[in-house]
Amino acid sequence: MTIVPSDHYGGWGLTPGRTRCAKRAARYLSSRTRQREEDLVTERLLGQPIAERTNVASRARIAARPAGTPPPSLVSVHRGVDSPFRFYLRRQAKAAEAVGITFRDIALDPGAGPTDLVERVRALDRDPSVHAVLLEHPLPAPFDFYAAVAELRPEKDVDGVGPLNLGRLVAQRPIHVPAVARAAVDIAQHYRLPLAGERVVVLGRSETVGLPLALLLGGRAEGIHATVTIAHSRTRRLDRVLADARTIFSCVGQPGLLHRGNVPEGAHIVDVGLSSVPDPDRAGGVRAVGDADATALEGWAGSLTPVPGGVGPVTVADLMAGCVRAWERAVRPEGGP
């Protein structure tokens, strides 16, 4: 059999006139492809075991506090009953209770404006009984999330989204980093996904998710040192950008963005995206999905975090671990209890 480059067959093709041979070769190649697809089992990168390990450590650190020391205290500030943040509040309250953190949420009064929010955050920053503060984001105009979060000292800005923490992350000396970015890296390290010296792609460049994640991945922390490409809504030919990526971190919020047509075979995917799609079979009529088309990528991607059940539980556990660190700094500035 002669194999020659052929435009007609789109690259390496088979010479015409040897049809029987060609058919046999095609059958052979397609059976090889089928065989490869059958061999490739897409591993599910579950978040729960990592979250549980983090929670066990947090509980132990709180339990080991000296007698008379109050437990960590976390306060979450939000816009009130209409806020989509309510879903996260329930998760935060449950997670805090599970590890022994005192949790309180503060709803702004109806009619409160940007100045009220800034004053509220300033008061929490001064309150020594509060160790960690979370602020709902994004916030609709006229609220200014960054003006408000800038009122927090970096030690209390537990989600690491204030200007001082983000600046410290650029300098590779973070106090807190955004929990979702840390969670994505935790998953990649726990499951030993290719990072060090490898090409990884981060989809999304928001200040709270994609950008800090790219900084962590491209940083000098032990075992990371990835070569990072950032893609965003203006990126052309995503398939080419992804072509030689070993690990893909998707932080977009667009169901179906990643599929067999743009993900290289065998690539690993940490799916940070979270969207709701209609599902009449579910209570509430919706279900959560990520950016990756998990069904299409089964047997193609090397591994994939499920949504839900991947990045989400690790993010909440990392947030609680951040509260414990903030509390340790406050009660024992020279080190942990």
- Residue ranges in contact with ligand NAP by CB under 6 A: 180, 203-206, 208-210, 231-235, 238, 251-254, 257, 272-275, 311-312, 315
Tell the smallest beta-carbon distance from residue 293 to ligand NAP (Å).
14
Which is nearer to ligand NAP, 45 or 272 (by Cβ)?
272
Select 18 or 240, whichever has its Cβ closest to ligand NAP.
240
Q: Which residue is nearest to ligand NAP (CB)?
A: 253
Q: Which is nearer to ligand NAP, 22 or 215 (CB)?
A: 215
Nearer to ligand NAP, 27 or 240 (CB): 240
**CB 313, min distance to ligand NAP, A:** 9
Q: Which is nearer to ligand NAP, 121 or 252 (CB)?
A: 252
DSSP three-state, residue 281: coil
- Beta carbon of residue 266, minimum distance to ligand NAP (angstroms, whole number): 21
Neighbours of 97 (CB within 10 A): 11
Q: How far apart are CA 250 and CA 184, in angstroms?
A: 10
Helices then strands, each counted (H, E), the chain: 11, 13
Residue type, 121: V
Distance CA 307, CA 269 (A): 12
Q: What is the closest distance, in whole angstroms, from the C-beta atom of residue 94 to ligand NAP in the complex?
A: 14
Q: 48 vs 41, 88, 301, CA distance in Å?
A: 20, 17, 21
Which CB sits closer to ligand NAP, 127 or 279? 279
What residues have CB less than 8 Å from 239, skipping those under 6 apart?
261, 262
CB of 305 to ligand NAP, least distance (A): 9
Q: Nearest distance from residue 264's CB to ligand NAP, in Å? A: 16
Nearer to ligand NAP, 22 or 294 (CB): 294
Distance in Å, CB of 103 to ligand NAP, minimum: 17
Going from the C-alpha of 291 to that of each of 62, 245, 303, the distances in angstroms are 36, 16, 14
Query: In the chain, which residue ranges form alpha helices assigned H by DSSP?
Result: 19-39, 48-63, 86-99, 114-126, 145-149, 163-170, 179-190, 210-217, 238-242, 294-297, 311-331
Q: What minimum distance in Å lies between the beta carbon of 206 and ligand NAP?
A: 3
Reduced to 3 states (helix: H, G, I; strand: E, B; else coil), residue 120 is helix
- Contacting residues for 235 by C-beta, under 8 A, at least 6 apart: 241
Confirm if 194 and 178 have CB atoms less than 8 A apart: no
**CB of 14 or CB of 307, closer to ligand NAP:** 307
Give the CA-trace dihedral at 141, 143, 144, 150, to 10 degrees: -170
Specify which residues 157 forms β-bridges with: 133
